[in-house]
Structure formats: C-alpha cells, structure tokens
Structure 1
Amino acid sequence: MPLTQPLRHARYRRLWLANMVSNLGTWIQAFASAWLVASLSGSAAITSLVQTATYVPVFLFALLAGVVADGVHRPKFLFYCNLYMALCAATMAVLVGAGWAASGPVLVLTFAIGIGTAFIWPAWQAAMASLVDPSEVEAAATLNNLSYNLSAIVGPALGGMLFGWIGPGALFLANALSFAGLLGVYWAWWREGGPQQPAREGFAERFRCGLRTAFGCARYRRILRNVCWVFFSTIAFASLLPVFVREVLRMQSNTYGTLMGCLGGGAVLAACFLPQVRARVDKTGLLAAALTVYGAMLLTMSFSRSLVLLVPLIVCGGMAWSATVSTLNAAAQLSFPAEVRARTLSIYLFVMSGGYAAGSVVWGQVAERWGVRAALGAAGACVLANAVVLATGSRKNPI
C-alpha cells in the first residue's frame, strides 16, 4: 500500500496538514522551553523537569480523558482543547515578554499545556483512526509520525537560529499562532453537524469497561509493558540533550537545534522505506531491530564529542525512533473496535507518559550525580536490554 493512500480522505488530509503546522509550533516551543530552562538553571536535574512537566499531566489525566473522549462529540471537544492550549502558549509568551523568564513559570505553563495534551491525545488518535479504512491505519500512523518529524526538523532549527535574535517570548507566541489551522478544521467539522456521540453508559461503567477491555487482552498487556520500558529509557535523549550540548560539547543553541533536527530528519527518511520493511518483517522483529539501533545511538553518544560522528548517528537514531513509535502506535490503534478505542488508547498514553515522566526524573538525577555521559550510557543499555528481550521472545509473544 502506498504511504500516501490515507491522504485520499479529504478530512484526514486537512487534519494532517493542520496538525503538521501545529507540530511545528510545538517543536519550536519544546526547543525554547528546554534551552531557556537550561540557560537559567545550569542544572541537569532541573532541565530534565521540562520533560517531566510535559508528560506528568498526561499520566495524571489520560485515563479520564479517554473516558470523556468516548462520550462526547469529538470535533467540538478537540476544538476547545486546542483553544485552551493556544491560550496557555500565548500566556507563556506574555510572561516571558514581560521579563518574568524564570524556570518556575516556564515549568508551570508547560504543565498546563500538558493537561491539554492529555485530553487531546485519546480523542485525536481515535478520531484519526476513524477517518481512514482499517487497512490504512498503519500507513496513517506512519504519516502522522512523518508529520510530527518533519516539524521536528524545521522547528528546532528555526528555534536555534531565532532564539538569540527574537527571544523565547516570540517563539512561544509562534506556538500559540500555530493552533489556528487546527481550530479552523475542527470548527468546520463541528459546524457541519452530524450525530452527537451519546454516552450509552455512565462514566464509571465506561471507565471500568475500558480497563477490563485493555487489561483483559494478553497481547495488549505485552504492548503496554514494552511501551512503559521503551519510553522510560528513550526519554534520556530529549531530557539530557540541552545539558549534553552545553556541558559536553561546549556549544550553543544552534547546535542543540541542529541535533534535535537530526533526529527528526532520520524519522522522515524512515518513512520512505518503512512500508517496504513492514511487508517483509513482523512487527516484533522490526521493533527489536529499531530499539537496537536507538540503544546503540545513546551508548555511542556517551563516548563522543565529535559533531562529524554525532550528526549521522542521531539521524540513524531518528530512523529507529520512527519505526519504534509508529509500530507501537499502530499496534495499539488496531487492537480494539472504535467504540472503546479512545479508552484503550488512553491507557496506552497513560503508560507511555508514566514512562516518560519517570524516565526524565531518573535520568536527570543520574546525570546530576554521575554526569550526562553516564546517564546516556545507562539509558542506552536499558534500550538494548529491551531489544534483546523482544528478539528472544518474538515468536512466542508477538506484539
């Protein structure tokens, strides 16, 4: 199946394009927040809290968000969630522009935006899966990942170039404006009418049904175990890269933006050949191979200071990351029917964000005590251990 086949659906195509613009703003803000906190604090532990503040709200609210998303009119719900996030980003721009650029306010508003993300993700993933044919879900997951990673190339690069020129406040404002396209698409979808999605059960029953459905499936439990360990280990890269650039490479924001963009560039390259690889390799084998490459990237980073080595290394890591995320995401989306999809996906997001939040704290503390290199090396070893477990049990316990 061609990778672009899901784009034949007009509504999916419009959402995909608008979401890519929004992702660009998200990456610009992610860059600006991390580099600003790293510059203000000079601490690996505090810098890693940017990732913690991003993912703890998802951990706290994902299960609630999944239950809500299966009982509301999704376009209307997604419109208000995106409007809330745009207002949070605009508030951050105003505070920084007013001279209140401190780690505390940045982390608090990052947490507030994370709450919006927590409520958007289950509804958005369930909505996107419903806009394409079941046979196109895996291609749609790869396209969504491609959109995210195209933005991951441009966003950090723009942030690196503009941070010292126009300042972080303007970058936060750019993120606020990037929601305009999504708001327009969701508004039009909402105003078209269509049936409201009635909640046929009470809130508590829908919540229990989601838990029973997800944890009652042995295959889904395996997916969740892998998600927890994978995201716990791999968050070390995003959490520690600002400190790695400042303390190990002794370089500035443009280098940080370049290396972030390299990961996204690798993910974009991966989209060109992943459909062909998936036709020949089972999901579990592909995931094990991708984790091996990503773990090797983290281990090698712990020994290297050369940009000549780091740039192609992180590009390879980005290719592996794209394969990892799209494989796990598609497996989760295809596990259950549409009626319970948002609830079961919310459990996936709950586990993922828990891994992210815990990993960002743990690797930040490891870096604070034993250094950034040691933390990256230990995280790489964890990723490789997960790859070995997957490879040895792939036939008996496929995902």
Structure 2
Amino acid sequence: MTASTYHGLTMPKVSFFALPNATAGAAGTAPAPTSARRKIPLTQPLRHARYRRIWLANLVSNLGTWTQTFAAAWLVASLSNSASITSLVQTATYVPVFLFALFAGVLADAVHRPKFLFFCNLFNALCAGTMALLVWSGKVSSGPVLAITFCLGIGTAFILPAWQAAMSGLVEPDEVEAAATLNNLSYNLSAILGPALGGLLFGWIGPGALFLANALSFAGLLFVYWHWWQEGTPQPVARAAFGERFRLGVASALGCPRYRRILRNVCSVFFATIAFASLLPVFVRDVLQMRAGVYGTLMGCLGGGAVIAAFFLPQVRARVDKTGVLAGALLVYGAMLMAMPLTRSLALLMPLIVCGGMAWSATVSTLNAAAQLSFPAEVRARTLSIYLFVMSGGYVAGSVFWGRVADAWGVRAALAAAGACVMLNALVLMKGRSRHPI
C-alpha cells in the first residue's frame, strides 16, 4: 500500500511514552503528559473487525510494494552506474507526496474515504501492471521506470492522509500507538519477505513478473474497500470551501508548538536516514561487489529488525518517555550507517542492519503515532498531510543530496556522513528532552 517508506510510509512506517489526548482541540493543544502510562497489548487493535480485515489485506499489499521497491531499485542500478541516478528511485517515490500531500489531506477530510481509497489503490495497481508491460516490451530504460515510479508515488500521496486518518479512527484512542506499531509490523514483515523473494526471483523470472505481483497484491485491499464503500457509510459534508479548509489545516498544525517540533524532527531525521535506502543498491554493487540476492537479503535484515522491535516496544513504551526513546533509536541507527562503510563481511553487516531495523521501527512508530494523536478526527487528515509533506520533503532532498555526495566522494563517505547527521539529531533531542519533549 505504501512505498518504501512510506513506508510510509510506510508506511508507510513509539514512545514508549505518554501521548496527548486524542480529543485535543483543533489548534492541536495537547494536555500535559501524565506520569502513568498504561501498557496496551500489541494485538489489541485487531479485536476491531474492520481494522483487522484492512490490516491483513495491507500485509499482502505491502509484500507487493516491497517486491516492487526492490525490483525497481535494482533494475535502475543495473541500467546505470551513477549513484545519483539510482538514488532517484527514492526521489521519484517521494516527490509526488511532497507535491500533492497537502491537497490530498484537504480532500481526504471531505470525501467518502472507502470509495476514495478504492480508486486510489486501483490507480496504483494499474501503474504496477504498466511497469510489468514496459519491462516485457524489451524497451526498458531508467527514464520510464522512474516515470512510472513517480505515478505510483502520486497514488500513494493521495492514499496516505486518507488511510492514516481512517485507520486511527477504527480503534480506540489509547490503541492508536499499538495500531501504529502493528501497521509498522505489517510493513516490515513484508520488508523481510519482499526483498528476499525479489533477490531470489529477479534473475529467474525477471523484474516484469515482480511488478505484476505488486499489481495483483492490491486485490485484497480493493475487495475490503469495495465492501466498506457498499455498506453506505455516511459521507463527510464539506461545510467550507477548499481554501478555507486548507487554511484551517495549516493553522491547526503550525499553531501547535509541539506539532512544530514534531515536524522539525521529521524533516531532519528523514533527510539523513534516507541515505540507507538510496545508497544500499550502490553499496552492494560497488563496495561489496555482490548481486541482487545480497541486496534483497540486506533489505530484509532491516525489516527483520523492525519486526523484532515490534514485540518489545509496548514494554518500553510503558516505561520510557518518547523523546528519550526516539533519541536512543537515532543513536543506534546513526551508528549503523557509520559502521557500514567499515566492513565488507556479511556476517557482520547482517546483524548490524538488524539492529538498525529495530531502531528504525522505534523512530517511525514514535513520530507517526505522535502525529496521529495530536488533533481531532475533523482535521486529522489535513494535519497528517502536513506531516507527510515535511517527511517527503526530507526524503526528496536527502535522496538527491546523498546521491550527489556518493558520486563526489564515494558511497562509504556518504553513508558515514549521513550517520553523523542522524546522531547529531539524537544529541539535539537529548539536550532539549526536558524542556521540549516530542
């Protein structure tokens, strides 16, 4: 459903911390955090039938997304020797989110979400099918692959605000953090299997079949959204003009000091962390001098670490404030990036990246859950779209910047510099932990 990162996203994709009340005012003013934090079991959100059905369908779709992400990145790396060109796969994924997220957020608060999500996912399925036909035509080159990746990003840009707002509305307010971790778990289970399957199958059945698999993986989500749509859920009534709703969303987000801090951290963190996804194909090809299977394995290690983290994060969440956990996670992730250039041994790289995946799960879940719970449902999609806008801006700038650094000074230097930036973010967070919590 999401692209690597969306993974959102990704995801699409953890405070172990006190959260603001989900009924905070439209300006996003959160009540003072309390010292008591109740542990919510990881699987508790699955008791809600609709959330459970969407979660399972999204698991399958995420598997297709990771297969597509792997195949597109390795295909472009195979077609070009430039780190900058290879890193453009990530740029093409996130530029549409940067361009359209704000518009999509305003739209998502005014449309019938099941119907809207059905057509957006259908668009992405058709784009993935077109990518398969392009490869099978025998005329594939980097330009068309990046163009269709951009189109997939457009679909994702419109999906993410509606999907995040819808999912957080399907569970109780105190379950949103667990739901965010579950969504991240779904994404990262697929992050293990998708690249691993892609690495095994890329040379055997070719990238075209992998792109087709992604197109077919949308079937479950389309089925669930179709049935939700047909149930006749009331459609939101847009009581104000588009411009007024847009201004309200921006004012709500930027008028909240805590949310502004979240946005600053999102931009700086994702600017630095995108170096891993952008440069891993080049690192495997040029530094390790290995092939697609190793690239898939290392991508899977990051997902494996995130899956492991999902099972102990609820316990951490009940004991540690979110700012501290976010800072700690960034220290670990930064250390992973700085250590990668120092070794060519898979026996060392694999556990190193697993640790990085655990830190990545904590980072993404912390920031995402805090953003989801900062505002009431009436403006949630709009305020989340600003989160996505800032996130994608960090990703786009970072993927271009680190690709240029790698071309100028080598992929090792680029990874080490990105790791230093991540660790600097952690130190800044720790310094302001008591005065400016997330």
Q: TM-score range with shorter-chain normalisation? A: over 0.9
The 5 Å alignment of 1:1-399 reads 1-399=40-438
Give unmatched runs, 5+ long, in structure 2. 1-39
Cα deviation, residue 302, structure 1: 1.8
Aligned counterparts of 1:239 and 1:196: Cα–Cα separation in 2: 40
Aligned counterparts of 1:21 and 1:97: Cα–Cα separation in 2: 24
Aligned counterparts of 1:196 and 1:235: Cα–Cα separation in 2: 37
* Matched AA of 2:66: W
Aligned counterparts of 2:379 and 2:41: Cα–Cα separation in 1: 28
Aligned counterparts of 2:238 and 2:229: Cα–Cα separation in 1: 18
Cα deviation, residue 149, structure 1: 0.2
Cα deviation, residue 270, structure 1: 0.1
Aligned counterparts of 2:190 and 2:353: Cα–Cα separation in 1: 16
Q: Percent identity?
A: 79
TM-score (norm 2): 0.91
Aligned counterparts of 2:339 and 2:310: Cα–Cα separation in 1: 24
CA-to-aligned-CA distance 1:302-322 (integer Å, 9 cap, x gap) = 211111110000000000000
CA-to-aligned-CA distance 1:246-302 (integer Å, 9 cap, x gap) = 000000000000000000000000001000001110000000000000000000002
* Matched AA of 1:270: A
Cα deviation, residue 164, structure 1: 0.1
CA-to-aligned-CA distance 1:185-204 (integer Å, 9 cap, x gap) = 00000000021111111100
Find runs of 4+ consecutive structure 1 residues off by over 3 angstroms.
Answer: none
Aligned counterparts of 2:156 and 2:234: Cα–Cα separation in 1: 25
Count of residues in Structure 1 that have an aligned counterpart in Structure 2: 399
Aligned counterparts of 2:269 and 2:139: Cα–Cα separation in 1: 36
TM-score (norm 1): 1.00
Relative to its length, the structure with more helix (as a share) is 1
Aligned counterparts of 1:22 and 1:355: Cα–Cα separation in 2: 25
CA-to-aligned-CA distance 1:300-346 (integer Å, 9 cap, x gap) = 00211111110000000000000000000000000000000000000
Aligned counterparts of 1:195 and 1:188: Cα–Cα separation in 2: 14
Aligned counterparts of 1:381 and 1:194: Cα–Cα separation in 2: 49
Aligned counterparts of 2:241 and 2:44: Cα–Cα separation in 1: 38
Aligned counterparts of 1:363 and 1:187: Cα–Cα separation in 2: 41
- SS of equivalent to 2:56: helix
Aligned counterparts of 1:306 and 1:392: Cα–Cα separation in 2: 35
- SS of equivalent to 2:342: coil
Aligned counterparts of 1:363 and 1:118: Cα–Cα separation in 2: 23
Aligned counterparts of 1:23 and 1:199: Cα–Cα separation in 2: 32
- SS of equivalent to 1:302: helix
* Matched AA of 2:412: R
Aligned counterparts of 1:49 and 1:128: Cα–Cα separation in 2: 30
CA-to-aligned-CA distance 1:71-108 (integer Å, 9 cap, x gap) = 00000000000000000000010011111211000000
Aligned counterparts of 2:200 and 2:357: Cα–Cα separation in 1: 21
